[in-house]
Amino acid sequence: MASKQQITDAIYSAIDEVNAAQGSENQIAKDPKAILFGQGGKLDSLGLLTFVLQVEQRVQSAGHPSFTLTDEKAMADTATAFRTVDSLSDYIVSRL
C-alpha cells in the first residue's frame, strides 16, 4: 500500500503537469495546504478534471491499477475530498 507521502508526491507530480496550462498567475503551489477546489482554487472545471485524471493515473501506476477518482462516490465527495492537497492525500489513502 502506498504511504501518504507517496500519494502526496504523486499529487505534486500532477500539479507540475497541470501548471503548464495554468498561466503564471494561476500556478498551484506544491504545498499540503494548497487549495485545489472551491473558493480560492485556481483550477477551472476542465483543469480540475485533467488534474484528477493525472492523479488517478499516477496512483494506478504506483501499484493500484483499479483505483479510480472519477466514480460516483468520488464525484459526490468532491467538495471535501478535493479541497486541498492534504485532504486529497487523506482521501486517496482512505480508498486504497
| Distance spanning both ends of the chain, measured CA to CA | 7
- Of 17, 77, 86, 90, the residue at the interface with other proteins (CB under 8 A) is 17
Tell which positions 31-50 bind other proteins, by CB under 8 A: 46-47, 49-50
Bridge partners, 35 (sequence order): 84
Beta-strand ranges (E) seen in the chain are none
* Among the residue ranges 3-11, 17-25, 35-43, 84-92, the one whose residues contact other proteins (CB under 8 A): 17-25
d(Cα 50, Cα 86) in Å, to the nearest integer?
Answer: 19
- Of 21, 29, 76, 96, the residue at the interface with other proteins (CB under 8 A) is 21
- Of 6, 13, 22, 80, the residue at the interface with other proteins (CB under 8 A) is 22
d(Cα 38, Cα 92) in Å, to the nearest integer?
Answer: 18
Cell numbers at 78, concatenated: 468532491
**Residues within the interface to other proteins (CB under 8 A):** 17-18, 20-24, 46-47, 49-50, 53-54, 57, 70
